[in-house]
Structure formats: C-alpha cells, structure tokens
C-alpha cells in the first residue's frame, strides 16, 4: 500500500508524495518548522481533522485502483468524485472531498487545478443530478425551547449546565464550536444582562472577535443571564472553560462541540420531540426564525448572529416568514 504522509497533521512531514520513507518532501526542503506550522494553520484544526479523513479515503481508493494519489491526474479525481456520487454520498460531502484533495496538493507543493474541464464538468454534473440543497435540521423556536426547558430538572450541576447551555446558545445564536470555546472571562455580567465575547468563529479565523449582548428575560426560568449565574455558582467555576464536562457531580474539563449537539438532542427527546430532526444548529436557526417572526430588523438579527452575508441570513428569514402576508391567503 502506498505510504501516505499526513500533510494535515502538525507532527507529520508536510509532503505527501508517495516517496520512499526518509526522502525529503518538496516543501520540507525549503520551509522551516515554524513556517510549516503557520502554513497548516490557515485551516482550523477541526477542518484539518475532517480533511485528513477525506484525504485518507481518497488515497486508499487510489491504492485499490492502482493510480497515483499525489500528484493526482484530473481524470483520476473526476473518477473518484463520480465514485462518491454513485456510492450515495451527498453533494456537500463530495465538495468537501475535492477541497481536501486540493488542500493536500497545495501543502505538498504539487500542481492540481480543480478548474480542469474534466473535474469541474464532473462536479457540475453531480450537482445537477443530485441537487445541492442541504438537508437542514428543524429550527428550535420559542415554543419548542420552552418545552425542552420544561422537561429539564434543576437538581444537579449537570442539569444546570444543560439549561444554561441551551439558553445561552439560543439567545446568543452561537454556533456549537463557539459555545464550546467560551471561557469564563468571555462572560461578563453587567446591569443590562450578559456581555458575551466570541473570540473566534467559523467566519472569523483571524480572531477579530465580536461582542453579543444577552438581556435579562422576563421569566426567570427562561433567562440566560440568571441561569448562567446559577450554573457558575453551583459549580464554583471561576476561570477556564465556561461550559464543563460534569460526571457524577464532578466538574471536569471543557466540553467539545459534539456535547452541545448531544445536549440539544437529549432535551428534545425528553420534551417528546424527534431528536433526529434537531441538532446544535437548531438553536441558532430557532433564534433567527423567532426574532424574524417577532418583527426584529434584519440588521439587528445579524449583529447577534455575526452573519456577514445578508444573503445567507435572508435564507433563514424567508423560511420563517413564508406565511406572513402570504399572497395566496384568502383568495378562496
């Protein structure tokens, strides 16, 4: 089997050329370790982790087909994309696989152009046949959120964490990775409520950061500020990760993004909702949907969500307002 050096792994050699062990790769010969580290850092660790799996699957497929993975010939990549499509993969998965192949070539200083006619044409055909509309999780609107919180007790530290995570996640419209990355220093209690600092996000890889305000809610049980304060007081957390892994009452290290999704699904299940229809992103989508239905201006919603593209935000709002002032209403 061809030796595949992980070009996305910080501790591994940078070049994945299929050369004999010990042979120096093209970028290793000219870049120092510090430059290699920053070159890889152009992608987030989570992205590199996903790309690593995509690259390994492509390399394994090339081994079985008896073709070279790097540098890969455009027809080889086109065949692989077609293989993924015929295997039932979604277009988003196929797009990501191609991005991983391109990134691996870039790091290894090997030529590959995704605009080659055979690659671009095959991908366009896949998009046309399979469609590109993503399968979206349902939004957790205010009605569902109330049901979910009603099903969560307040007996233990973990229950308090789950309530705080749901409420802070919903009112801040944070992505799950942003919630998991929050630290105590990022949550400042002020007279108006809670000032939350998002230091890094999917659309802010250079860490400019942004602030989000979470005001007090009228109902104590639905207030993100009071609930977060109660969670911190019960756990004694004063520094480090804001949301912690809690097992058998013992407060441990910070949570991962998957914990956010699991918390949402568990609360949905207890509320009698089909957990398969919901995920961590349902909190963010639910905030946008509810705020839009309540007549909040799009600019105000965008300040909370951090959306830079109004076009993306409009997609949420169009879904939320499909029955508002509907032209078909009352015609018969």
Tell me which residues are annotated as active site: 175, 202, 281, 284, 307, 316
Q: How many residues does the chain have?
A: 332
Q: Is the bond preceding 89 in cis, omega lying within 30 degrees of 0?
A: no
User: Interior CA angle at 57 toward 51 and 62, to 5°?
Assistant: 125
C-alpha 246: how far from chain center: 23
Please answer whether residues 168 and 196 qualify as being in contact, where contact means their C-beta atoms are separated by less than 8 angstroms: yes
Cα separation of 37 and 6, whole Å? 13
Show the CA angle centred on residue 105, arms to residues 99 and 108, nearest 5°.
140
Stated as kind and residue range, the H or E segment containing 312 is: helix 310-320
Cβ neighbour number for residue 281 with a 10 Å cutoff: 18
Q: Which residues pair with 215 in a beta bridge?
A: 193
Tokens representing 326 are 């509907």
- H or E, element range at 247: strand 244-247
Q: How far is CA 92 from CA 79, 127, 157, in A?
A: 17, 9, 38
What is the four-CA torsion angle of 57, 58, 59, 63, rounded to 10 degrees?
100
Which residue in the block uniquely carries the two structure tokens 């792994």?
9
CB 81 within 8 A of CB 126: yes
Q: What letter does residue 25 receive in the DSSP assignment?
A: P
Spatial contact of 97 and 80, defined as CB atoms under 8 Å apart: yes
Beta-bridged to residue 296, according to DSSP, are none
């Amino acid at each position: 089997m061809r030796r595949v050096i992980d070009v996305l792994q910080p501790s591994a050699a940078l070049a994945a050329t299929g050369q004999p062990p010990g042979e120096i790769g093209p970028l290793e010969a000219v870049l120092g370790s510090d430059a290699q580290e920053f070159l890889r850092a152009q992608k987030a660790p989570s992205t590199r982790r996903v790309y690593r799996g995509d690259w390994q699957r492509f390399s394994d497929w090339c081994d079985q087909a008896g073709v070279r993975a790097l540098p890969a010939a455009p027809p080889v990549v086109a065949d692989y994309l077609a293989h993924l499509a015929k295997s039932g993969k979604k277009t988003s998965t196929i797009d990501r696989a191609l991005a991983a192949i391109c990134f691996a070539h870039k790091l290894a200083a090997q030529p590959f152009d995704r605009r080659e006619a055979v690659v671009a044409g095959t991908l366009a055909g896949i998009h046309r046949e399979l469609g590109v509309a993503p399968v979206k999780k349902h939004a957790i609107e205010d009605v569902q959120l109330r049901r979910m919180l009603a099903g969560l007790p307040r007996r233990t530290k973990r229950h308090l964490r789950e309530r705080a995570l749901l409420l802070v996640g919903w009112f801040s419209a944070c992505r799950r990775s942003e919630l998991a990355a929050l630290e105590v220093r990022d949550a400042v209690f002020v007279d108006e409520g809670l000032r939350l600092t998002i230091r890094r996000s999917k659309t802010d890889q250079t860490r400019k950061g942004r602030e989000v305000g979470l005001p007090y809610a009228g109902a104590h049980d639905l207030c993100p500020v009071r609930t977060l304060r109660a969670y911190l007081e019960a756990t004694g957390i004063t520094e480090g990760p804001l949301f912690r892994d809690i097992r058998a009452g013992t407060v441990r290290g910070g949570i991962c993004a998957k914990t956010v999704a699991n918390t949402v699904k568990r609360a949905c299940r207890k509320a009698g909702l089909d957990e398969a229809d919901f995920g961590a992103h349902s909190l963010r989508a639910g905030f946008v949907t509810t705020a839009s239905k309540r007549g909040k201006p799009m600019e105000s919603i965008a300040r909370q969500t951090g959306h830079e593209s109004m076009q993306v935000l409009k997609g949420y709002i169009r879904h939320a307002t499909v029955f508002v002032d509907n032209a078909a209403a009352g015609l018969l």
